[in-house]
Structure 1
Amino acid sequence: MKKFDIPLIAAAIILSGLIPAAATNHDVSSARPNVVLIIGDDVGYGDLSCYGYDNLVPTPNLDRLAAEGVRFTDAYVTSPVCGPTRYALLSGAYSQRFGVQWNTDCWSKLPGLEETLDNHRVPPTQKLLHETLTDAGYATGLVGHWGLPCYPQTTHDETKSIVHYMAHYWPDETGHYLGVNEPIAISPRKRVIWGPEREGDEYFTDRLGRQSVEFIEKHAGEPFYLNLAFTAPHSPMQAKKVHQDAVKHLPSEALRLYGAMLISMDENVGKVLDALDKNGLAENTIVIFFSDNGPSPAFNEDWPEEWSRDVVLGTAGPLRDTKGTFYEGGIKIPYIIRWPAGLEKGQVYEKTISSLDIYPTVCNAANASVSETTRLDGVDLMPYLTGKKTDTPNKTLFWWGGSKGGAVKDGKWKLWIGPGGGGERKLFNLEEDLGETTDLCKIHPEIVASLEVKFSDFCAQMPPPLNPKK
């Protein structure tokens, strides 16, 4: 055995039988759908105009996606920060099963293990979503934010403009985008820019949209899976001058930059939808959009002195708090699925779902066989969205950031667990108190006790974090 073999430890836990792997066995069409997975970076629950809350800027293309598909109002990611969310989404299992509790667990050096594409912190027994689709004959592509092991290498058939954490939106004088396709992941939280600074410079969000369209056109004659992972509207605050008039109503320069970045993301979603239409692919392509976590507190590196630091970049709408917290504003996100061939358009689905559900939903629709060793913690949503099942897809969900705290949601009840794990508790009735304003711990101690047991049982299954010093 290797000196340090976290992947094998994690695999043992996954295969221990504590919770069996999800099955993939419902009827599917023989015409396999294409899949386009679009991820926004730090898009808040209230940011999209189709959700009807703060409506910072128009988002007509995402509104179109919702009108032609299903918009979810009670959708969650598995973490309030990007790294663990992406691990869980693409592996299909809670990231804690691999020792990934927080962002620092995603890139910390593992003693005794030189990670390769065949041997890294996700065990080889756990196939990632695109690997399962590759086995099923899909052409697979990744454009943009990765954040998983072996950056900037991946096992997709094609990769373009790979980012580990964040990147500049405007290129330097050599044409290079800081943070893109670099051998060592860095955090370029630098200059505030309304660009372009040089005529002809391509905005990075436009670059991702263009490369995604190119992938679609190249593979229009075969089943394909595309992960378009925007870095927008995550910092650094760099936007296009052409959008300044559209955001002049916003109350601060930071929020105006953010709004312009959100407009650019929406425009490039539109380019992808138009490419599907142009190539006759829209009817049988599953398009999924969601955000990796809630809106971010301000990143203020290199901000002018007069700018307020008490700013949220985006909005969580009616929800409490932001990215980095286990309140609803950190983990409840906008989430849309469109599949004209398989789903009735214009649905608003109000029951609880998770980003963990994407893997089994996509694979079942694609008739892609999931290996017996691949642990899936989510459920196939299609029977729920077509009315074959009427119960709640996910009655109980868990969040755990180790020393950062966590939460458990069981039906309408949510137990918030403060930093350190052994201290503060708050109980909320989300049906009556979506904004988490009233702690009910003293009124319902029996519910607190029940949720404590569920949370403890969940945590007991997990290995230690990969970076215990975080």
Structure 2
Amino acid sequence: MSFRYRIAGSFVFLLMGMMLAQAAPNIVFILADDMGVGDVASLNPEAKVKTPNLDALVSAGMNFTDAHTSSAVCTPTRYGLMTGRYSWRSRLKERVLSGYSPCLVSRDRKTVASLLKEKGYNTAMFGKWHLGITWTKKDGSVFTELKPDEDEAELKIDFAAPIQLGPTHLGFDYFFGTAASWDMAPYAFIENDRLHYTELIKHSGKLVPEPAEVVEARSNKVPAEELKKISNKYPKASWRPGLAGTGVKPTDALPEIARHAARYIDDYTSEKPFFVYMPLTAPHTPVVPNEQFKGKSQAGTYGDFVQEVDWAVGEVVKALKASGQLENTLLIFTTDNGYSPKAFPDAQKEQYGHNPSYIYNGCKGRLLEGGHRVPFIATWPGVVDAGSRSDVMICLNDFFATCAEITGSEIPDNTAEDSFSFLSALKGSTTPVRDTLVSRDFGGYLAIRQGGWKLCFSKNANAYKLYNLADDIGEQKNLFKSNPEKVEQLTATITKLVQDGRSTPGAKQKNDGEEWWKQLCWIVPNIGK
């Protein structure tokens, strides 16, 4: 098997890599769920939330202004983060997984956790997985379809049996968290390879009181469409129907995740470095801030929930400081995509004058910048300059290659095919890390960015869009019809990235699943033949 370094491959570099490995930093990666650039107070002058802990990180480290997720929704972003590979190269070509979907990451695929574990790290995860859990059925078999029927799954799964494929099989020494989003059953915590519960009970999902206006409209039996309009003025606070552990409440997830992560750091005694991955469940729906945060922001319940997210970050930073680990820790805070209108409806945006997308257009699920351009803050004392800023374009997929470079690890050709190290940017270099970026929306349709140009595809060929972000960061002017040469160039580039199975240098690789799928709408069906 051939190997590659995504940086100079000289003996001098190898020696430097060995030295870096000997003084390997702890790595903490915090991933908020459905939160925009404008939700960090120090990044948005018009913000109506207070985020003192995140603001302190901005002051102590580097703010990346051109950071992106590989998708505008959660499962595919997490796949890219863990594997360094675009999610559309996996079997999942659209939408997201459920809490009962089998694991999307194959057992033999290297993850950033398994890479760091091989380099001597202790690895722990606290929070939302949402990459599929391969549950054991009562007959000993497992689901193979990506999205099994949830009612059928709840009847067939043996919840007392060990999980057959999940975080602890893919590089994590310890896992405490949830199978998927906290509005997807099962509503119980998982510890390592077991569901952590006393009893699972079926519920309707309506565990949080509805706003008074909605209750009144319902009691007055207003027409369904009118009721929907009224309901959509408020964040979605309830769970979907499904199984929940006895005593588990919607407000439990965020504080439990924060407490477990902080305790792990507080109690850490090993001489090995640690990797802590902390994907939060908030401010994703259900929007359920705990009592001490209610009414504390000027952006309604959603703003209060964002401030609870800031608290959770602060708990981890506090633990790093108290344990003396902060000085040798690379700490990253970012989010999995832009904010969700279900959590912060347009009516409330107008009411409170707070825009989670800041100056960018769009939100979660969209190919517009607000869907995938995210806050990305990094601190690393002695390496990253305090109060610094980087305008270098990066993607969450790039975390894999960055960890590889930090630890002097080789990356095989069939691994992290879409990951480029941004270690140089952390050290202050302005040299571009990657020249292209492919983004994915909720429906699985793609956009390609190269330099300032961005081409967006869609189901309807008449709705293709071309933007020049250098002149139009708000994506208001569609230049598709007036720039056919640029459209042709970008189309050829993304076609090659799809056909090569990679965007990094190396041997061609094969995408998983069908060779051609409907979201490759600009390519003829006989692609690659």
Is the TM value for this pair above 0.5?
yes
Cα deviation for residue 187 of structure 1 reads 12
Deviations along 1:439-464, one digit per CA (max 9) or x if unpaired, are 11233221111111112223334444
Deviations along 1:325-362, one digit per CA (max 9) or x if unpaired, are 10101010000111113221111111211111111112
Partner of 1:238: 288
1:154 maps to 2:167:
yes
Deviations along 1:102-161, one digit per CA (max 9) or x if unpaired, are 33467786xxxxx6xxxx643444201111111111111110100123366422111113
One-letter amino acid of the counterpart of residue 322, structure 1: C
**Helix, strand or coil: the match of 1:325?**
coil
1:432 maps to 2:471:
yes
1:82 maps to 2:98:
no
Partner of 1:96: 88
| Structure 1 residues 259 and 383: alpha-carbon distance in aligned structure 2, compared to 1, 3 A threshold | same
One-letter amino acid of the counterpart of residue 57, structure 1: V
Partner of 1:348: 389
Superposed counterparts of 1:241-320, under 5 Å: 241-247=291-297, 249-250=298-299, 256-298=300-342, 310=347, 315-320=356-361
| Structure 1 residues 441 and 167: alpha-carbon distance in aligned structure 2, compared to 1, 3 A threshold | closer
Cα deviation for residue 400 of structure 1 reads 3.9
One-letter amino acid of the counterpart of residue 215, structure 1: Y
Superposed counterparts of 1:26-425, under 5 Å: 26=13, 27-28=16-17, 29=20, 30-104=22-96, 121-150=104-133, 153-155=166-168, 156-167=172-183, 178-181=187-190, 182=195, 190-192=206-208, 203-221=252-270, 222-247=272-297, 249-250=298-299, 256-298=300-342, 310=347, 315-371=356-412, 373-387=414-428, 389-400=429-440, 404-419=444-459, 422-425=461-464
| Structure 1 residues 159 and 127: alpha-carbon distance in aligned structure 2, compared to 1, 3 A threshold | same
**Helix, strand or coil: the match of 2:284?**
coil
- Preserved CA contact (<8 Å) 1:192 1:237: no
**Helix, strand or coil: the match of 1:245?**
coil
One-letter amino acid of the counterpart of residue 451, structure 1: L
- Preserved CA contact (<8 Å) 2:338 2:372: yes
| Structure 1 residues 458 and 105: alpha-carbon distance in aligned structure 2, compared to 1, 3 A threshold | farther
Q: What stretches of structure 2 of length at least 5 have no aligned partner?
A: 135-162, 211-236, 238-246, 502-510, 520-529
| Structure 1 residues 245 and 236: alpha-carbon distance in aligned structure 2, compared to 1, 3 A threshold | closer
| Structure 1 residues 24 and 341: alpha-carbon distance in aligned structure 2, compared to 1, 3 A threshold | farther
Which of the residues 456, 459, 466 maps onto 2:498? 459
Q: What stretches of structure 1 of length at least 5 have no aligned partner?
A: 1-14, 110-114, 169-175, 251-255, 301-307
| Structure 1 residues 35 and 466: alpha-carbon distance in aligned structure 2, compared to 1, 3 A threshold | farther
Q: Quote the Cα distance in structure 2 between the aligned partners of 1:62 and 1:376.
A: 31
| Structure 1 residues 202 and 356: alpha-carbon distance in aligned structure 2, compared to 1, 3 A threshold | closer
**Helix, strand or coil: the match of 1:399?**
strand
- Preserved CA contact (<8 Å) 1:139 1:219: no
**Helix, strand or coil: the match of 1:46?**
helix
Q: Quote the Cα distance in structure 2 between the aligned partners of 1:358 and 1:426.
A: 29
* TM-score, scaled to structure 2: 0.71
- Preserved CA contact (<8 Å) 1:79 1:399: yes
Aligned CA RMSD, in angstroms, stands at 3.5
The structure whose Rg is larger is: 2
Cα deviation for residue 424 of structure 1 reads 2.1
**Helix, strand or coil: the match of 2:133?**
coil
Q: Quote the Cα distance in structure 2 between the aligned partners of 1:20 and 1:417.
A: 32
- Preserved CA contact (<8 Å) 2:99 2:180: no
Cα deviation for residue 369 of structure 1 reads 4.5
- Preserved CA contact (<8 Å) 1:140 1:158: yes
Q: Quote the Cα distance in structure 2 between the aligned partners of 1:367 and 1:187.
A: 50
Q: Quote the Cα distance in structure 1 between the aligned partners of 2:285 and 2:486.
A: 40
Partner of 1:112: none
- Preserved CA contact (<8 Å) 2:365 2:442: no
Between the aligned residues of both structures, percent identity stands at 27
* TM-score, scaled to structure 1: 0.80
Cα deviation for residue 273 of structure 1 reads 0.7
| Structure 1 residues 211 and 411: alpha-carbon distance in aligned structure 2, compared to 1, 3 A threshold | same
One-letter amino acid of the counterpart of residue 180, structure 1: F
Q: Quote the Cα distance in structure 1 between the aligned partners of 2:97 and 2:25.
A: 34
- Preserved CA contact (<8 Å) 2:104 2:131: no
Cα deviation for residue 179 of structure 1 reads 4.7
Q: Quote the Cα distance in structure 2 between the aligned partners of 1:437 and 1:334.
A: 22
Cα deviation for residue 407 of structure 1 reads 0.6
- Preserved CA contact (<8 Å) 1:136 1:369: no
One-letter amino acid of the counterpart of residue 353, structure 1: I
Cα deviation for residue 178 of structure 1 reads 2.4
Q: Quote the Cα distance in structure 2 between the aligned partners of 1:368 and 1:79.
A: 26
- Preserved CA contact (<8 Å) 1:326 1:416: yes
One-letter amino acid of the counterpart of residue 167, structure 2: T
**Helix, strand or coil: the match of 2:304?**
helix
Cα deviation for residue 419 of structure 1 reads 2.6
